[in-house]
Amino acid sequence: MTSALLTDLYELTMLEAAREAGTASRRCVFEVFTRSLPEGRRYGALAGTGRVLDAIADFRFDDADLRYLRRAGVLKEETLEHLAEYRFTGDVHGYEEGELYFPGSPVLRIEGTFENAVLLETVVLSILNHDSGVASAGSRMVTAARGRPCIEMGGRRVHEDAAIAAARAARIVGFASTSNLAAGAHYRVPVAGTAAHAFTLLFDTEEEAFRAQLAAQGAGTTVLVDTYDVDRAVRTAVELAGPQLGAVRLDSGDLGAQAVRVRELLDSLGATGTRITATGDLDEYRVEELKDAPLDGYGIGTRLVTGGGHPAPGFVYKLVEREGADGQMHPVGKKSHDKATLGAGKAAYRMLVGEHAHAELVLPGEEEVAEFERELITELTSGAANPEWKRTSLRPLQKPLILGGEPVEPQRAPATVEAARERHAASVAELSLTPDDGPDGPVAIPTVTDGVEAARVLS
């Protein structure tokens, strides 16, 4: 199946009506952005861009798609003939995958004719909303973990294809590994996993279960110790494996108190190098609560893969500029209450002072950038300026991803994930947040859409 039917009907009916009206070939600019962040979120983490580029490349109507549309009887034959030849031939610019975004950030800009670009709305949004929802929650969890490795293990809580995408998104924002083998195979995400309670329950005694696991996987394995009695299980595991026992996993109860007791017990048994991993309905808040517990890692599932209570960041795909009857490009935007959009295709920059982010600049045109630079010079020469402001710079956030329908930098799937992982780590570092700031707080930096206001952010 191609990605062409991963869309909504109204995109095809709009195309048909525009073709009949003679406006389908007008040049257009669409932007993808979110109007706000969920309450308490300091930033969003962009994920899914690599999958979007793959979907655009695969967006074409094959014979089976056209047979279905013909049977559905909702489009005219002339439209179906046009769709048979459809290929995206426009341009796409966007934030690098892994980048942070804020309210109004134009994370993707799609340029082409109306009939070429309007069809991509649903498939683009479905990917970015899902993957960025997972990534935005996952980034908070990694921060709360304070350097302790996190394992993604939520595949059984979502659709099977979404599980693979979720593991990919989690890897981008810093998760160390996944339990999902398909994600490991396709994206080369490191995989992890040993045994569940069912394995222990299979045997007549817990000792027999541990002995079988150690024989098969070696002393470095992770033993699940809360099926019956935790203390007894820890003693049994160390007795069988010796001080080389890799790790024990706690999955229920008061994880903090149990971790303290288990650490003391392991140390008393000579297993000072044995790690303790916690699982069981964890999220960034529970991980934060466990920050002082002697834990060495976390396995996180449901709350991660479902977006931590906010499964869709609210990305929208809006027409912001289009060609008029005069052949010139004109900004357009909704005036609707609470849903107004700023017209014109926009350039985006992260305003840095030294290495620290101070604002998200979303400026409609080169003149706005020039205005910012003029105002900045005025501020710096006012006499009251902080000398540190002289280190102000603008980091461009958008880069060409597709030009003339062709990808600019084709990469293998695993390479896109690792590049996005590096980008995310660097972008989070620019915010200068620390784990002690806690998961929730105000939006980390303001979004500014005016050059004069942008310069005044510094003051």
Query: What is the CB-side half-sphere exposure of residue 66 using CA atoms within 13 A?
Result: 15
Pick the more confident residue, 111 or 374: 111
- What distance in Å separates the CA atoms of residue 369 and residue 215, rounded to the nearest whole number? 65
- pTM beyond 0.75: the answer is yes
- What distance in Å separates the CA atoms of residue 323 and residue 108, rounded to the nearest whole number? 19
Please tell me the predicted confidence (pLDDT) of residue 459: 60
Q: Give me the CATH topology for the region 9-133+311-456.
A: nicotinate phosphoribosyltransferase (3.20.140)
The answer, yes or no, to whether residue 38 has pLDDT greater than 90, is yes
Please tell me the predicted confidence (pLDDT) of residue 450: 75
Range with the lowest mean pLDDT among 230-234, 338-342, 400-404?
338-342
What does pLDDT average to over the chain? 93
Q: How confident is the model at residue 451 (pLDDT cuts 50, 70, 90)?
A: low
pLDDT tens-digit map of 230-257: 999 999 999 999 999 999 999 999 999 9
Q: How confident is the model at residue 336 (pLDDT cuts 50, 70, 90)?
A: confident
Please tell me the predicted confidence (pLDDT) of residue 373: 67
pLDDT tens-digit map of 109-129: 999 999 999 999 999 999 999
- Pairing state between β 406-407 and 329-331: unpaired
Pick the more confident residue, 352 or 373: 352
Pick the more confident residue, 208 or 414: 208
- What distance in Å separates the CA atoms of residue 12 and residue 59, rounded to the nearest whole number? 13
In the chain, what are the domain boundaries? Answer: 9-133+311-456, 193-276
Please tell me the predicted confidence (pLDDT) of residue 312: 92
The answer, yes or no, to whether residue 381 has pLDDT greater than 70, is no
Contact 372, 455 (CB under 8 A): yes
Contact 322, 332 (CB under 8 A): yes
Q: Which two tokens stand for residue 179?
A: 């339990």
Q: Supply the DSSP symbol for 242.
A: G
- Strands of the sheet containing 108-113, edge to edge, are 329-331, 316-323, 27-33, 108-113, 91-95, 398-403, 406-407
**CATH architecture entry for 193-276:** Alpha-Beta Barrel (3.20)
Please tell me the predicted confidence (pLDDT) of residue 385: 59
Domain 193-276 in the same topology as domain 9-133+311-456: no
- Residues 6+ positions from 83 with CB-CB distance below 8 Å: 4, 12, 61, 65, 66, 69, 75
Please tell me the predicted confidence (pLDDT) of residue 377: 61
Please tell me the predicted confidence (pLDDT) of residue 282: 96
